[in-house]
Amino acid sequence: MGHRASDDWLEEYIIVVPHSWRNDHFWLDIQVETQERIGTILRSMYPDLERLPLSPSLILLVCQIEAGRRAPEGHG
């Protein structure tokens, strides 16, 4: 497909993608652009968030993820 992922898709629309398209590069481009846009919006909304210390439970969760273990279900 010769279109950019953002062509013809307005931000407020929900895009339903059939399973047969999910390995298509167009779908992957949509995912990447959306994740980048969400990240940019969150960073502008919470500019100091990355500088705040993590809570002990989040530190434990990060360590478990980095170690390749599954985090406990009731961590929230």
49 pLDDT higher than 50: yes
Residue 75 lies in a domain: no
Structural domain contains residue 48: yes
Residue 30's pLDDT is: 81
- Write out pLDDT tens, residues 20-47: 766 777 778 888 888 999 989 988 998 8
How many domains does the chain contain in total? 1
46: containing domain? 1-70
61 has pLDDT over 80: yes
Number of helical (H) and strand (E) elements in the chain, helices listed first: 2, 0
